[in-house]
């Protein structure tokens, strides 16, 4: 026998699915499969509720500009940190080899 969910529970599922799609850049289906079991619904039900909420205009279709700008800033910062880590690894390897007694003349 199917369970009956109130509108508040449906809204919570939709909100969590949408948050997951934005935060982790997942498709709706992947987000539903990750979230639904934790909320006690099937992923197909979560997908249907999310699709209906999108059709009804309850969920924004696009990422807000401030969130998109923040995401771009974090991506740039992440790349800078990766570059710095590579530089530090190279410098560490260089100085470690200088201290190696076998390489001393």
Q: Find the mean pLDDT for residues 61-65.
A: 62
For residues 79 and 44, is the Cβ–Cβ distance under 8 A?
no
For the stretch 20-44, pLDDT in tens is 888 888 888 999 999 999 999 999 9
- Calculate what percentage of the chain has a pLDDT beyond 90: 47
67-73, long-range: CB < 8 A, 24+ apart: 67/22
Domain range summary for the chain, segments of one domain joined by +: 1-61, 62-105
| Single pTM value for the model | 0.56
Return the ∠ at Cα 31 (arms to 30 and 33), rounded to 5°: 65
Record: fold of 1-61: Arc Repressor Mutant, subunit A (1.10.10)
b/e string for 53-62 if b means 16 or more Cβ within 10 A? beeeeebeee
């Amino acid at each position: 026998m199917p369970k009956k969910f109130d509108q508040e529970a449906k809204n919570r599922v939709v909100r969590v699915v949408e948050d997951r799609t934005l935060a982790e850049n997942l498709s709706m289906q992947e987000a539903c499969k990750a979230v639904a079991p934790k909320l006690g619904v099937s992923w197909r039900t979560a997908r249907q509720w999310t699709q209906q909420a999108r059709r009804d205009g309850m969920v924004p279709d696009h990422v807000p500009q401030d969130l998109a700008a923040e995401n771009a800033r974090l991506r740039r910062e992440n790349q800078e940190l990766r570059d710095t880590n590579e530089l530090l690894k190279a410098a560490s390897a260089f100085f470690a080899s200088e201290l190696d007694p076998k390489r001393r003349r």
